[in-house]
Structure 1
Amino acid sequence: METSLVFFSQLNMCEPKEKTFFKLIHGSGKGDTSKEAKIRDKEKRNRLSLLVQKLEFQQDILSNSSGHLAKETRISPEEAVIWGESFDKLLSHKDGLKTFTRFLKTEFSEENIEFWIACEDFKKSQDPQQIIRKAKSIYEKFIQNDAPQEVNLDFHTKEIIARSITQPTLHSFDVAQSRVYQLMEQDSYMRFLKSDIYLDLIEGRPQRPTNLRRRSRSFTYNEFQDVNSDVSIWL
């Protein structure tokens, strides 16, 4: 889908916002002291303020993305090639795990890797109370029906975990973790190896900003692009 760009000839983002507002609001040089004119001027200032805030928000996003990408480019093509040898080698590499997680976020499925990581951490628990606390947390976050990050498990596996959650062991989630691992290995990992995120790394190209399909609760730059760009709505 093509995106139309509209340029405001009056709007110079290099100038202070106050100066920009003055040009747009008072550029005609006509004096109008009526009450209606004052109300219109106030509305103009509010709308222009929103416009500038959204543009500044975009600049902040691009700046943060640039910093993030600078870190990603430190991964050498040789390291990335090793990730393609097996799924286990990908997950055992710190940067590989981070990169794969970033890929899963573009597919709405980061709960799978987060569940796998939580299980790995859980199996390192030693204190009995810690085992119970972490097991309950994993169950409520990933396993139970309508969990905030519910992973895709069959009914039988969920039932076994539910019955044992009051007296969990370090192996309570082994079956579930294995199923999620296989799902990622046979499905998500295959797509990851064909993704731009991975191909850019092995070919030594700069990483591109990740296009997340999940929308934030707050506004995003993509939402701003959908706003009616007719200059008349701002003036």
Structure 2
Amino acid sequence: MENPLLLFTQLNNSASKDKSYYKVTKATVKEEPNKASKPGAKQKRNRLSLLLQKSELHEAEHLGKPTSLTKAASSVSPEEAMKWGESFDKLLSQKDGLDAFTKFLKTEFSEENIEFWMACEDYKKSKTTNELFPKAKTIYEMFIRKDAPKEVNLDFKTKEVTSQNIEQPVITTFDAAQNTVYRLMEQDSYPRFLRSDLYLNLVKGRNPGRPTLRRRSRSFTVNDFQGVRPDFTIWH
């Protein structure tokens, strides 16, 4: 029979070792989640930061910064804004009106129309024939040709005539295309602009809030909006 004292000593040493191993194991188990959790939390913060940045960039690209709208509102009197409702010509003839209308078209993803119209206006100010060709080429490549970066919505005949005239450009080369886009804006976008929060806030003398994004259909044609006139009763 073994000595009881020796047996007790062996058991005690074994228990001490097990206890020590348990402490070490327990500590290791506790530390590993902590080490894993720190990078996880950091990754989540980084991911959230990227999402916020993307959201801000998206809004800045399509809506314009609120500060720019506020600046526009402070420089335009309600009386001046009211005059923009008299006619589309009146709106485009004033810089502030043109800027406000351009901002509105950006919310509808159709700013290529007003950009094309302005490019044509600049084109017609060319003083020499040497200026016409490079400008005409640029306008055609940007707005007219098939799959152009900012292709405008033109009927087949108008596009065909414009494409032929580009070979020997003159002052009137883009007149037909410009008139088509002008009528489309006047009968389609302009009435919606007059009903928009951006415009109504200017008329009421208030800082415009963030406009609402609306995807317009690009299948509209000029004929779809014949006879459409702005409703001026909304200002009373």
- Fold match (TM-score > 0.5): yes
SS in 1 for 2:154: coil
Question: Paired residue for 1:203?
Answer: 204
Distance 1:58 1:151, change over 3 A: closer
Distance 1:213 1:40, change over 3 A: farther
After TM superposition, give the deviation of residue 167 of structure 1 in Å.
Answer: 1.1
Question: Paired residue for 1:224?
Answer: none
Question: Paired residue for 1:153?
Answer: 154
Distance 1:57 1:149, change over 3 A: closer
Residues in 2 aligned to 1:102 and 1:133: alpha-carbon distance in whole angstroms: 28
Match of residue 39, structure 2, among 18, 38, 42: 42
Question: Paired residue for 1:71?
Answer: 71
After TM superposition, give the deviation of residue 113 of structure 1 in Å.
Answer: 0.6
Question: Paired residue for 2:190?
Answer: 189
Question: Paired residue for 1:180?
Answer: 181
Residues in 2 aligned to 1:101 and 1:80: alpha-carbon distance in whole angstroms: 15
Superimposed CA distance per residue, residues 39-67 of structure 1 (whole angstroms, 9 cap, x where no aligned partner): 33212112113324545777899998342
Residues in 2 aligned to 1:207 and 1:106: alpha-carbon distance in whole angstroms: 13
Question: Paired residue for 1:86?
Answer: 87
Structure 2 counterpart of 1:38, one-letter code = K
Structure 2 counterpart of 1:97, one-letter code = L
Q: Is 1:107 matched with 2:104?
A: no
CA RMSD of aligned residues (A): 2.7
Asked whether the equivalents of residues 197 and 211 of structure 2 are also in contact (C-alpha less than 8 Å), the reply is: no
Q: Which has the larger radius of gyration?
A: 2
Structure 1 counterpart of 2:47, one-letter code = L
After TM superposition, give the deviation of residue 136 of structure 1 in Å.
Answer: 0.8
Q: Say which structure, 1 or 2, has more relative contact order (CA 8 Å, 6+ apart).
A: 1
Q: Which has the higher helix share?
A: 2
Distance 1:39 1:127, change over 3 A: farther
User: Structure 2 stretches of 5 or more lacking a match?
Assistant: 1-26, 216-236
Distance 1:31 1:207, change over 3 A: farther
Residues in 1 aligned to 2:105 and 2:182: alpha-carbon distance in whole angstroms: 13
**Share of identical aligned residues, percent?**
52
Superimposed CA distance per residue, residues 21-42 of structure 1 (whole angstroms, 9 cap, x where no aligned partner): xxxxxxxxx9976455423321
Distance 1:154 1:79, change over 3 A: same
Normalising to structure 2: TM-score of the pair? 0.70
Structure 2 counterpart of 1:44, one-letter code = A
Superimposed CA distance per residue, residues 142-186 of structure 1 (whole angstroms, 9 cap, x where no aligned partner): 111111111111111111111121210011000110111111111
Distance 1:36 1:128, change over 3 A: farther
Asked whether the equivalents of residues 116 and 143 of structure 2 are also in contact (C-alpha less than 8 Å), the reply is: yes
SS in 1 for 2:135: helix
Question: Paired residue for 2:48?
Answer: 51
Residues in 2 aligned to 1:160 and 1:207: alpha-carbon distance in whole angstroms: 42
